[in-house]
Amino acid sequence: MISRRNLVSALVCLPLTASVGCSKPDGAGPGPSGSSGGTAPAQAGTVSLVGAGATFPYPLYSKWISEYNKANPGVQINYQSIGSGGGIRQISAGTVDFGASDAPMTADEVQKAPTKLHHVPTTLGAVVITYNVPELGAPLKLSADAVSGVYLGTIKKWNDPKIAEGNPGAKLPDKDIAVVYRSDGSGTTAVFTDYLAKVSTEYKDKVGAGKSVKWPVGLGAKGNEGVTGQVKTTPFTIGYVELAYAKQNKLPIAQLRNKAGQFVEPTAQTITAAAAGVEVGDDLTASLTDPAGEKAYPISSFTYLLVYEDAKDKTKGQALAKFLWWALHDGQKHAAELDYAPLPDALITKTEARIRSLRSGNDKLLPGG
Amino acid sequence: MKERYSQRKLVDAAVRGLCLLATGAALIPLGLVLYYVTSRGIGGLDWAFFTELPKPVGEAGGGMANALLGTLELVGLACLFGIPPGVLAGVYLAEFGQHRFAKLVRFSADVMSGVPSITIGIFVYTLIVLRTKSFSAYAGGVALAVLMLPTVTRTTEELLRLVPESLREAALGLGVPKWRATLSVVLRTAAPGIATGIMLAIARVAGETAPLLFTAFNNAFWPTGLAQPTASLPVQIYTYAVSPYDDWHQKAWAAALVLIGMVLILNVAARVLVRHRVRSR
Amino acid sequence: MALLGAEVNAGDVLFRGVAALFAITIVLVLGAMAIQMWVAARPSIAHSGWRFIVGRDWDPVRDSFGALPFIYGTLVSSLLALGIAVPISLGVAVFLTELAPPWLRSPVSFLVELLAAVPSVIYGLWGIFALAPFLRNHLEPFLGKTLGFLPLFQGPHQGFGMLAGGIILAIMITPTISSVSREVLRAVPDSLREGALALGSTRWEALRHTILPYARSGIVGAIILGLGRALGETMAITMVIGNRTDISVSLFAPGYTMASVIANEFTEATGDVYLGALAEIGLLLFAVTLILNVVARLLVWRVGRAPEGARG
């Protein structure tokens, strides 16, 4: 007995006692039901929110969470970028407090979710084509044909005429193109394939659009992080990632020819231009790919948080609603500095109404909602 | 005849050489991995690494204190859930396990030790995470405990079998009931050996990543409770390794150095314990 | 108390009961695992049937799930790993039991076992930043130049792919195979060894004609145990194999394994069939490793009751 107890105490208790602040498990504990006006959750201890999903907005979200935590130390938001598919799946399974996705939930996914979920648009971003070709100085200019050809596997070499066409004078090497795609269920993939399916019927018939598709060529990497890492470390690769990832890692970004025939570089302005005049549906979602505007970047997208209409835990629900409100207003100013674009004003107004409609049982989560 | 003999000698020498070469080839990767982890990781080990939380993407600095603590917490839970049942099951097999049921248990334990850790992840996800509606340190601890259980059981059994029968008989002869004899004489005699086995099992689970991906998940903050998702060194190394940020790569190497250090210490300590036991026998 | 007497002490009954309870737990956990995987896999079994194993199409968008690319990737990477690891491991085992001077045996075997102690994710990290670049810049161009006439060594050099996966796995299973084979060789009675040497055999001849035949089934068991490990290995190989759902003859091409696809897609699969498909892959993996383990242990057992096998 003694020997076992020694072992157990030595090996078990030490790490357990070391984990300071081990509070009681608070999973099922309902908050104090009377405190409807509880403004400062810090008084009641720390509120931990768990979220998971899209990697596309992760650089911005991680900034938001850090800033929000500085302003509200009582709220810890643990956001894990596991991919949009993961965000939808985990919120549907009820294992997280909120999900995140760049691809709106499909009708099928909405129907299968056990409770009513809402999309809350948070920011605008762009999927960019990045590449690793040491020989190239100026940014590559690619037509829609070239992009779809590379991802269909019909364009195999960097010096293919379809690539050369937009880049007169560029030194394109006679090397195989190593295509990189997302191995996980990805909103970035959904946006990119949505674009490809719009610009290429061959692509639409052969592959189709979705969060995870069967790519005819290439190798898979996990998350925007993985694709960026793969492109960064491997010469002659090409990949599609969110703008911020390419920017932060100083990777070259291709200019794409849009519907109006212009080569456009992805910037906050050209992304905003893509959202101009887009009609947002009742579920606050819209597709922004292949827009008509002359200055519009062709692969732009909203990204969304997924939240329960009826929060099980009121304290958590309130904390989340306040964070959403903060993100929609104060948070927007961080968007441009991290290469995202702020939401259009009209959409912000609509989204405010949606956040106000969130509830827990019969109580609204935000005062005056 | 002589020629044939020298030819035979030659073949023999060649085979000896090849075996030596093979041993060298087996050890080269160990050297390379240790070299890379040390040379690339050492620069990332500063005070902040051990005391601070990770910084948001793009901001330099920050540390992995939460993952370190999380790993300790998860391993602690795994020990709590895995060791007592494992040791007791081992005691059962060694002391009472003469019949068919014991064979089944032994067989199950052996089979379980070969089950891929990722499938244990799926199992615990459906068993605990989906039921409790939350990723949690508990779930991670259970997954690691399931990994430890067969090793602990079989080690305990093997070592109890090494305890001389005379010792048992002597204890029983003094009129001590069997349970007391088992616990305070037999188990105690075998304790250093069992501890060795347990340390090796801990070293193994401390570095496990796959079963934690769907159970303990990850967390950017300090552990606030056992029902919360929890960061761990291996998962953090994975996340950082596949990321595009140089700063994160550096941190992954540093974390790898810490993890490998922990694992090596446990292995060496286990080794020392064994030697000590062998000498004293 | 008096009735029970000295033979049946109440404490003993309780003790035995508690110990038995935990012993049952092991059986129950294993059973629960099998049942749960099966239940989770059922939607996929109903949806795909046999096509699941022979289908090459893994297309979640169209709810079409064929696991052949993963099965292929798992088999090829594991066999490649065996191809590299078996000769090396046997060399190590022979070196440690037959050739090395006694003072060298224990430190070397400790070092080899340390190979097994290095966590998988660290091999993966090393694989991404050291092995893959080495393969891309040196080994693959070299193999392409010298053996490029074989379809195995054709195609672009990316570093990440089947070859990287096989090498990483080989490193990871070497300690398993070598330590079990070492135990098996050690279990060969000394009288056999001495007899052969006394008859004038060289070490190699003694090994070849006397020791190895005696230990054969145990060594096969060791190899199968190594195979079982390779099949189920997840993190390291996920990080280097390239994660591409495809069947390609070239070892330079990226592939995918059963364990990797679970690691990458399990948290995010939406829809019962998709989730079921991943669970079914898990179930297959579970069943295969289970069978391999049973076979391997039986084989190792046969060689003079060698000590319990895989303690790598």
What is the model's pLDDT at position C122? 97
User: Could you write out the DSSP letters of every residue in C223-273?
Assistant: HHHHHHHHHH--HHHHHHS-------S-TTS----HHHHHHHHTTT--SHH
B20 contacts on C by Cβ (under 8 Å): 91, 95, 99
- 């009751």: which residue's tokens? C305
> Quick check: A210 and C60 CB within 8 A?
yes
What is the model's pLDDT at position A45? 72
B101 contacts on C by Cβ (under 8 Å): 23
Closest Cβ opposite residue A18 in set B69, B194, B242: B69
Split at pLDDT 50, 70, 90, the class of A183 is confident
Inside any domain, residue B190: yes
Inside any domain, residue B103: yes
Tell me which residue of A65, A21, A68 sits closest to A45, measured CA to CA. A21
Please state the domain extents for chain C. 47-302
How much is the pTM?
A: 0.87
Inside any domain, residue B25: no
Instruction: CATH number for C47-302: choose from 1.10.10.10, 1.10.3720.10, 3.40.309.10, 1.20.1260.10.
Output: 1.10.3720.10
Closest Cβ opposite residue A86 in set C60, C268, C271: C268
Mean residue pLDDT of chain C comes to: 88
ipTM surpasses 0.95? no
**Interface with B, mutate which of C125, C233, C280, C299 (most B CBs under 10 A):** C125
What is the model's pLDDT at position B2? 63
- The Cα B49–Cα B60 span in angstroms is 12
- The Cα C199–Cα C178 span in angstroms is 28
> Quick check: B88 and C117 CB within 8 A?
no
- ∠ CA C304-C309-C310 to the nearest 5 degrees? 165
- The Cα B159–Cα A91 span in angstroms is 48
Residues of chain B short of pLDDT 70, as ranges, are 1-3, 277-281
Give A283-337 pLDDT, tens digit per residue: 999 999 999 889 999 999 999 999 999 998 999 999 999 999 999 999 999 998 8
Q: Which helix (H) or strand (E) holds B168?
A: helix B165-173
Inside any domain, residue B252: yes
Percentage of residues of chain C with pLDDT beyond 90: 56
Give C232-278 pLDDT, tens digit per residue: 999 999 999 988 888 888 999 889 999 999 998 888 777 788 889 99
Minimal-distance CA residue of chain C relative to A223? C264
Structure tokens belonging to residue C220: 């096969």
DSSP state of C188: S
> Quick check: B76 and A16 CB within 8 A?
yes
CATH of the domain at B141: 1.10.3720.10
State the burial class of residue A205 (Cβ atoms within 10 Å of its Cβ: 0-12, 13-18, 19+). exposed
C77 contacts on B by Cβ (under 8 Å): none
Higher pLDDT, C92 or C300: C92
Q: Is the pLDDT of residue A44 over 80?
A: no
Split at pLDDT 50, 70, 90, the class of A4 is very low
> Quick check: C243 and A183 CB within 8 A?
yes
> Quick check: A7 and B244 CB within 8 A?
no
Task: Using a CB–CB cutoff of 8 Å, tell me whether B177 touches chain A.
Answer: no
Q: Is the pLDDT of residue C312 over 70?
A: no
- The Cα A130–Cα B276 span in angstroms is 59
Distance from the A280 Cα atom to the nearest Cα atom in chain C, whole angstroms: 25
Minimal-distance CA residue of chain B relative to C205? B12
- The Cα B255–Cα B49 span in angstroms is 9
What is the model's pLDDT at position B278? 55
Task: Using a CB–CB cutoff of 8 Å, tell me whether A23 touches chain B.
Answer: yes
What is the model's pLDDT at position C7? 57
Task: Using a CB–CB cutoff of 8 Å, tell me whether B244 touches chain C.
Answer: no
Length of chain C: 312
Task: Using a CB–CB cutoff of 8 Å, tell me whether B183 touches chain A.
Answer: yes
- The Cα B20–Cα B28 span in angstroms is 12
Closest Cβ opposite residue C203 in set B12, B118, B253: B12
Q: Is the pLDDT of residue A13 over 60?
A: no
Q: Is the pLDDT of residue A1 over 50?
A: no
Residue A119 Cα to chain centre, angstroms: 13
Q: Is the pLDDT of residue C160 over 60?
A: yes
Q: Is the dihedral of CA B24, B27, B31, B36 positive or negative?
A: positive
Minimal-distance CA residue of chain C relative to A210? C61
Higher pLDDT, C310 or A66: A66
Distance from the C144 Cα atom to the nearest Cα atom in chain B, whole angstroms: 23
Task: Using a CB–CB cutoff of 8 Å, tell me whether C227 touches chain B.
Answer: no
- The Cα C81–Cα B110 span in angstroms is 23
Residues C54, C143 contacting (CB under 8 angstroms)? no
Q: Which of residues 85-124 of A touch B (CB under 8 A)?
A: 93-96
Residues A319, A49 contacting (CB under 8 angstroms)? yes
Q: Is the pLDDT of residue A2 over 70?
A: no
Closest Cβ opposite residue A48 in set B129, B133, B224: B224
> Quick check: A234 and C136 CB within 8 A?
yes
> Quick check: C264 and A222 CB within 8 A?
yes
Which of A253-267, B161-175, C81-95 has the lowest average pLDDT?
B161-175
- The Cα A144–Cα A147 span in angstroms is 5
Task: Using a CB–CB cutoff of 8 Å, tell me whether A248 touches chain B.
Answer: yes
Tell me which residue of A365, A229, A231 sits closest to A308, measured CA to CA. A365
A89 contacts on B by Cβ (under 8 Å): none
What is the model's pLDDT at position C271? 77
What is the model's pLDDT at position A213? 85
Distance from the A187 Cα atom to the nearest Cα atom in chain C, whole angstroms: 11
Tally of domains within chain B: 1
Percentage of residues of chain C with pLDDT beyond 70: 95
Inside any domain, residue B169: yes
Inside any domain, residue B2: no
Query: Could you give all domains of chain A from N- to C-terminal order, each with its CATH number?
Result: 7-126+302-364 (3.40.190.10), 127-300 (3.40.190.10)
What is the model's pLDDT at position C115? 92
Strand A141-142 with A117-131, pairing: unpaired
Task: Using a CB–CB cutoff of 8 Å, tell me whether C202 touches chain B.
Answer: yes
What is the model's pLDDT at position A141? 94
Residue B83 Cα to chain centre, angstroms: 12
- The Cα B92–Cα A248 span in angstroms is 59
Residue A341: φ, ψ to 5°? -120, 140
> Quick check: B198 and A78 CB within 8 A?
no
- The Cα A85–Cα A97 span in angstroms is 16
Give A210-219 pLDDT, tens digit per residue: 888 888 888 8
- Domain residues for the domain of B214 are 64-280
What is the model's pLDDT at position B277? 62
Q: Is the pLDDT of residue A153 over 90?
A: yes
> Quick check: C117 and B256 CB within 8 A?
no
Split at pLDDT 50, 70, 90, the class of A36 is very low
Inside any domain, residue B47: no
- The Cα A123–Cα A115 span in angstroms is 25
Split at pLDDT 50, 70, 90, the class of C304 is low
Task: Using a CB–CB cutoff of 8 Å, tell me whether B222 touches chain A.
Answer: yes
**Interface with A, mutate which of B144, B236, B240, B243 (most A CBs under 10 A):** B243
Which of A35-49, A180-194, A338-352 has the lowest average pLDDT?
A35-49
Split at pLDDT 50, 70, 90, the class of A368 is low
Q: Touching C: which chains, 3+ CB pairs < 8 A? A: A, B
Distances (CA, A) of C312 to A259, B269, C37: 60, 16, 27
Distance from the B27 Cα atom to the nearest Cα atom in chain C, whole angstroms: 7
Distances (CA, A) of A35 to A38, A43, A123, A365: 5, 12, 32, 12
Inside any domain, residue B50: no
